[in-house]
Structure 1
Amino acid sequence: MPPAPAPTDPGTIRSEPARGVIDEQRMMALMENVVEKIKVWFRFVPREGWLPQDIEGLWASKLGDDTASVENCPFLQDGVAEGDVVRYRTDSDGLHWAVGLVSSSGNCTIRVVPVPTGPLGRSPQAVHQRLSEFGLGGEVFSEDFPMLSLTAEAGADFAGIKALLNRGRDEGWWHYEVSCGTDAWWNA
C-alpha cells in the first residue's frame, strides 16, 4: 500500500493544478479555438409561385465583428453557398442581417425537388442516393415539401453533377435549379 500523501503546507504553491482544474492560461487557449455560431438573416423578395417567405436564417461561424462564414445550405436565398463569407449588420434586437458577400467559397448551391409521380416518388432519400457518387451534402426542407438543398463543393465533378441533374430532369425524377453557381460550375 502506498504511503499517504504528506499534508500540504498552506504556504506551499502547487506546481500542477488539481485534477479536473484547468489553469487560466490553458482555459484561454481552449476558448480561442471555440467558434461562435450565429444566425445570419437574409432578406429577399419572394418569387411568384414559390414559397411565400421573404427572409431566411443561415447558421454561420463568426469570423469578426461583422463577418461570418455560412455553415449550411440555403433553401430560399439565391447567390450564397455554404462556406461563403458574408458581411452583416446587427440590429437593435441583436439580429444579424446579411449586407453583402465578402468572399466566395467556390461552392455551389443546388435545389432539387423530386417529382411525386416520377420513379423516385416524393423521396428526398432516393434523390440523395442518386446523387451520392458526388458526395453532395445538404438538407431537406420538410416532409411536406421534400426539396433538397445541396452543396457541390469547389473542385467537385461539376460536369458529372450537371449531367446527372439534367438526366434526372429529362427522365422525370426531379426538378432542379442552381441558386448559387460559380464560373467553374457554369463552364463545366
Structure 2
Amino acid sequence: MSVMASMTSPEHDITENSKIKIWFRFVPREDWLPYSTEGLWATRLSEDTARLENAPFLQDGVAEGETVRFTTDADGLHWAKELVEASGNCTIRILPVPSGPLGPSAQAVHERLAPFGLGGEVFSEDLPLVAVTVPADAELGQIKALLIRGQEDGWWHFEASCVTDAWRNA
C-alpha cells in the first residue's frame, strides 16, 4: 500500500462508485421514533452527488435509486442537500400488527410481498418495521391492492413515504 493510499479514509474518498453514507435531517414525528437524522448507503457518482442504495425507514420523499446532491462537513459526514434525479421508485413502510394474523413478523410481511419480487429491510427485531422499495416497473395496482387489503384485514399498517404519479394513479 502506498503512503498516499494509507492517508485516504473512506469518508474523504471522492472516487466515483465508492460506497458512502448520505445523512438526512428531519423533524421527528410526534408519537414515533425520536430520531432527527437517518443515514442511507449510496454510491458516489461525483464529488457532490450519489445514488441512494437502500430504502429509508424514517426520511420521507426519497427512494432507493434517487440521485442526491450532498455537502461534506468538517467531520467527513455527507449531508443531503437536494434531489438531483428521481428514480421513479416508491418507498413503502410496513409495520405488522402484533395482535393481527401475521403477528409481529417481518418475515410474514416479506412472504406476502415475495410474489411481486419485493424484498425490504427490517428496522430491528424489537420494531419489525419493513422498508420496501417498489420499482417503477412493478405491478403497482396489485401491490397497492395487497397493502390496502392487508391493512383492512389487520395484518399491518403501511405508509407510502415516497410515491410517483404512477403509484397515485394505480
* TM-score (norm: length of structure 1): 0.81
Matching residue of 1:168: 150
Deviations 1:73-96 (A, max 9, x none): 100000000000000000111100
Corresponding residue pairs, total: 156
Choose which of 19, 30, 43 in structure 2 pairs with 1:48. 30
CA–CA distance in structure 2, aligned partners of residues 34 and 48 of structure 1: 38
Matching residue of 1:118: 100
Kindly provide the amino acid, as one letter, of the partner of residue 155 in structure 2. W
Runs of at least 4 residues of structure 1 off by over 6 A?
none
Kindly provide the amino acid, as one letter, of the partner of residue 104 in structure 2. R
Asked whether the 8 Å contact 2:113–2:119 carries over to 1, the reply is no
CA–CA distance in structure 2, aligned partners of residues 137 and 68 of structure 1: 22
CA–CA distance in structure 1, aligned partners of residues 96 and 63 of structure 2: 21
Shift of 1:34: 7.4
CA–CA distance in structure 2, aligned partners of residues 69 and 34 of structure 1: 11
Unaligned runs of 5+ in 1: 1-32
CA–CA distance in structure 2, aligned partners of residues 79 and 138 of structure 1: 17
CA–CA distance in structure 1, aligned partners of residues 86 and 73 of structure 2: 25
CA–CA distance in structure 1, aligned partners of residues 147 and 133 of structure 2: 13
Using the aligned pairs only, state the percent identity: 66
Deviations 1:99-118 (A, max 9, x none): 01001110000000000000
1:107 aligns with 2:94: no
CA–CA distance in structure 1, aligned partners of residues 105 and 49 of structure 2: 36
Equivalent position SS for 2:120: strand
Kindly provide the amino acid, as one letter, of the partner of residue 98 in structure 2. P
Matching residue of 1:154: 136
**Rg: which structure is higher?**
1
1:37 aligns with 2:19: yes
Matching residue of 1:8: none
Equivalent position SS for 1:155: coil
Shift of 1:131: 1.3
* TM-score (norm: length of structure 2): 0.90
